[in-house]
Amino acid sequence: MRMLPPGSTIGILGGGQLGRMLAIAAAQLGYRTHVLAPESESVAAQTASSFTRADYHSRIVLDELAASCDVVTYEFENIALDPVEYLAGKVAVHPAPVALGIAQDRANEKQFVNDLGGRTAPWRKVTTRAELDEALAAIGTPAILKTLRLGYDGKGQVRLTSADEADAAWDAIGGRPAVLEGHVAFEHEFSIILARGIDGTMTSYPPPKNEHVDGILARSTLPAPAPVAAQWTEAAALAGRIADKLGYVGVLACEFFVGAEGPVFNEMAPRVHNSGHWTIEGAVTSQFENHVRAICGLPLGDTALTAPKVEMENLIGEAANRWAEILTEPGAHLHLYGKRAVRAGRKMGHVTRIAPIIS
């Protein structure tokens, strides 16, 4: 494909903070952005060139978007597949809907990764209460029951410490199709954020160590400790095989546990990712810019660190009220997402701290 020249328009499905930061990166390179999202207060719309407030299923709206954009991307993976496939018949859509289809179903995703030689937690697909018993017998406890679809940030997940908790766990996820996963006794969690261009060129960032609180990312730190560094090459190679197999174009995030025998793949997101927000100031080219570069057919940018130490802290709920104090910290870069209402567990912003100020 030819390079889309600056001045072209990028359609973004989804109106949250990832779309917001994509639109900022696109604007920096001279592109226009058109956000399509159903919510009245889209924080991506605040930074985009234009905004259509509509749900994703109107063919009229999708036709208009396809006609007004040179390429379309998406900023969240729980968008229905159908409108994305429809758009792909009319305009270039990156990443291709096939990646979305796999990432939206935990069983498909794990099977796909196992088929590529990737290590996952032991898992079984569970569609009935009886299958949960069979899966518990096969996998044992502790284990985690996760809904097949629409889970993120630890939502739609129940931990089981004994098979006696099967009824309660099944009720807790509403008896929906799920996977049962064995609990991985991991030392650390990390992610591989890679970008793959239209010509198949790939690059990836040094992996951050990620710490979660209540299932939500709290902090990413670089450089990651030695146990993560030791598993980096194997994890990055697997992420590369995933991207190649999918003919992927754009930024892909793969989350891993540091397992006793090597990296254990947890899940992937076919989009820019919270554990890559540090790249805005902490890498030569941000994940957002590299996503824009990839989907527009441009050469990918350098992923090297800009400082010996980088840390990203998510500002969740009330934590964002510390904004004035954060601004007084040398080396701290504050990002607020423009969300009006502070709610517990809501990602309101993040702060990236660049060495040498981290003691």
Pair 238, 118: CB distance under 8 Å: yes
> Biggest alpha carbon distance in the chain?
60
Nearer to ligand AMP, 56 or 123 (CB): 123
Q: How far is the CB of 122 from ligand AMP (least distance, A)?
A: 9
Amino acid at 125: K
Choose, by CB under 6 A, the member of 35, 65, 103, 121 that binds ligand AMP.
121
Token readout for 237 is: 């190679």
CB of 251 to ligand AMP, least distance (A): 17
Position with the least CB separation from ligand AMP? 184
Proportion of the chain in helix, strand, coil states, percent, rounded to 5: 30, 30, 40
Q: Is 311 in the site for ligand AMP (CB under 6 A)?
A: no
Sort strands 50-53 and 143-147 into parallel, antiparallel or unpaired: unpaired
Q: Residue 183 Cβ, how far from ligand AMP at the closest point, in Å?
A: 4
Based on the shown chain and the rule CB under 6 A, indicate whether residue 281 belongs to the binding site for ligand AMP: no
Q: Which of 53, 90, 149, 212 binds ligand AMP (CB under 6 A)?
A: 212
Comparing CA positions, the residue from 214, 251, 232, 203 lying closest to residue 95 is 251
- In whole angstroms, give the CA distance from residue 191 to residue 206: 9
Residue 267 touches ligand AMP, criterion: CB under 6 A:
yes
Q: Which helix (H) or strand (E) holds 288?
A: helix 287-295
Beta carbon of residue 313, minimum distance to ligand AMP (angstroms, whole number)? 16
- The span of 61-69, 183-191, 223-231, 342-350 binding ligand AMP (CB under 6 A) equals 183-191
- Site size for ligand AMP, by CB under 6 A? 13
Check residue 140 for interaction with ligand AMP (CB under 6 A). no
| CA separation, residue 173 to residues 37, 169, 217 (Å) | 27, 6, 22
Among 77, 109, 181, 289, binds ligand AMP (CB under 6 A): 181
Are 103 and 118 contacting, i.e. CB atoms less than 8 angstroms apart? no
User: Applying CB under 6 A, which residues contact ligand AMP?
Assistant: 121, 144, 151, 154, 181, 183-184, 189, 212, 215, 255, 266-267
